[in-house]
Amino acid sequence: MTALPTRRRGTRAAVALAGIALLTAGLSACSNATGDSSSDDSDNSSDSQGRPGSVDGVDDVVLSSNVGPRKAVPVNHVVRVKASNGTITKVLVKAAGAEPIKGTLASDGSTWHATQLLEPGTTYVVRTTTENADGDVDNSSRRFTTVDLTLDQQTYAAVAPLEGETVGVGMPIIVNFDLPVTDKKAFEKHMLVTSTPAQKGTWHWMSDTLVHYRPAAYWKAGSDVTVDLDINALPAGQGIYGQDSRTVSFHVGDAVISKVNAQTHQMKTFVNGKLVRTTPITTGKAGFTTRSGVKVIMEKYRTKRMNSETVGIPAGSSDAYDIDDVEYAMRVTSSGEFLHAAPWSVGSQGYANVSHGCTGMSTENAAWIYNISKRGDVVEYTGTDRPMTLDNGYGDWNESFATYKQGSAL
């Protein structure tokens, strides 16, 4: 399997929050900030606000906001600005060298609120332009600094499939967090999957650090799917916050589905519903029974070393093996089952099960299936009494959708 991205700090993306408030409730405690007299690359003015009073009988616009220079602001704080005696025409919230924070201005110009959360340990300038009843324009600015966070206080989401990848119809969406998410409900509300054509699906939490998503049925061939993890600065629980929002888009290719029958020793391969090849195979012998159920190709190797000690068979055993260059190997379980070339068992292929659990075939047949396969293609196994499980690789299809959905936090 292609390696997932490692942890990094990135731009925090939109988290949609609504409502207007001048004071923040229910947020983490603030700490003292550094001095507010430093400049940035886009503002050299001191902090200022609209001032009450009147000129020629017309009241000045009075501004209030929920940020200021005296205390560090939590990263999950929503910046808000409110005006009285006039209207807000423009608000710019920006850190030096960064894009402005996105926000929404009320239709009557009375309020503005951010629709993005904040970066840790960052100084922002809030610039506001207002207009009073006579059309007089005023500009004001103020600074604030956010609470700094270490990487041990931020959880990064690694996503599979990768951006732009073409996958098979059985590919689950997999999100690995490098620190635990205990407030799963809050996170899942900000984890959106959209597809064209639209397909019903659900998240399923495997653990505090791993969550999968699958549609109700296999993805439709030709689908385009986008994963939007809108978790920037979102509290994950136990003092941890989302480090970075992620957006990943991928494509679902042809529906390549192989059906392995361990009793007939045959594998039938279908492409977009059409049978294209029947292959004689061998599966696991007694004591090494191949699992029955739905498996998904996880990784492909043109050649791979296979050593029996990695699956619990000790060196010196009559069943031990150590082969440096097994050809056309495709992993279908995390426990060690592969489809691969097995020229040493060609005489048994189509007749008997003689492997240690893998699905073996001739080199020619293995090359053929390898060349038409991709990550996410489905291999359905029948004919044994050993079941495939949900957590053994991409085992997501081994539960009904109704049961699988029970793993959602929502």
Q: CA–CA separation, 238 vs 179, rounded Å? A: 11
* Mean pLDDT in residue range 242-260: 98
pLDDT tens-digit readout, 382-400: 999 999 999 999 999 999 9
Backbone CA torsion sign across 381, 385, 386, 390: positive
pLDDT at 371: 99
- In 3D space, the residue among 239, 183, 231 whose CA is nearest the CA of residue 10 turns out to be 231
Candidate list 113, 212, 265, 340, residue with the active-site label = 340
Q: Are 300 and 293 in contact (CB under 8 A)?
A: no
Residue for token digits 């609120």? 113
pLDDT at 98: 94
pLDDT at 185: 98
Q: Are 407 and 208 in contact (CB under 8 A)?
A: no
User: pLDDT at residue 121 above 90?
Assistant: yes
pLDDT tens-digit readout, 334-360: 999 999 999 999 999 999 999 999 999
Backbone CA torsion sign across 166, 167, 169, 174: negative
Q: Where in the chain is the domain with CATH 2.40.440.10?
A: 256-398
pLDDT tens-digit readout, 190-227: 999 999 999 999 999 999 999 999 999 999 999 999 99
* Mean pLDDT in residue range 79-102: 94
| Domain 256-398 part of CATH 3.10.129.10 | no
Q: Where in the chain is the domain with CATH 2.60.40.3710?
A: 151-252
- In 3D space, the residue among 280, 360, 293 whose CA is nearest the CA of residue 321 turns out to be 360
pLDDT at 53: 39
* Mean pLDDT in residue range 109-128: 94
pLDDT tens-digit readout, 313-338: 888 888 888 888 999 999 999 999 99
For residue 401, the SS3 value is helix
Q: CA–CA separation, 81 vs 105, rounded Å? A: 9
**Both structure tokens of 305:** 């070393």
pLDDT at 40: 41
pLDDT at 63: 64
Q: Is 0.85 topped by the overall pTM?
A: no
Max Cα distance, the chain (Å):
102
- In 3D space, the residue among 323, 152, 306 whose CA is nearest the CA of residue 238 turns out to be 152
**Catalytic site residue 30?**
no
pLDDT tens-digit readout, 296-306: 999 999 999 98
pLDDT at 400: 98
**Both structure tokens of 144:** 């604030």
pLDDT at 206: 98
CA angle 385, 389, 393 (to 5 degrees): 125
Mean pLDDT of the chain: 87
In the chain, the amino acid numbered 341 is A
* Mean pLDDT in residue range 223-233: 98
The secondary structure element, H or E, covering residue 365 is helix 363-372
10 Å Cβ neighbour count for 215? 22
Q: CA–CA separation, 220 vs 171, rounded Å? A: 11
Of the two residues 48 and 112, the one the predictor is more confident about is 112
Whole-Å CA distances, 78 to 234, 238, 372, 375: 11, 20, 50, 40
In the chain, the amino acid numbered 355 is S
Q: CA–CA separation, 115 vs 91, rounded Å? A: 12
Pairing of strands 80-84, 87-95: unpaired
Q: CA–CA separation, 230 vs 386, rounded Å? A: 40
pLDDT tens-digit readout, 25-82: 222 222 233 333 333 444 443 344 444 333 444 455 666 777 777 689 999 999 999 9
Residues 116-152 as b/e (b if ≥16 CB within 10 A, e otherwise) read: bbbbbebbbbbbbebbbeeeeebebbbbbbbbebeee
What is the architecture, at CATH level 2, of domain 151-252?
Answer: Sandwich (2.60)
For residue 223, the SS3 value is coil
pLDDT at 61: 63
**Where is average pLDDT lowest: 122-126, 164-168, 173-177?**
122-126
Whole-Å CA distances, 212 to 163, 197, 306: 17, 20, 28
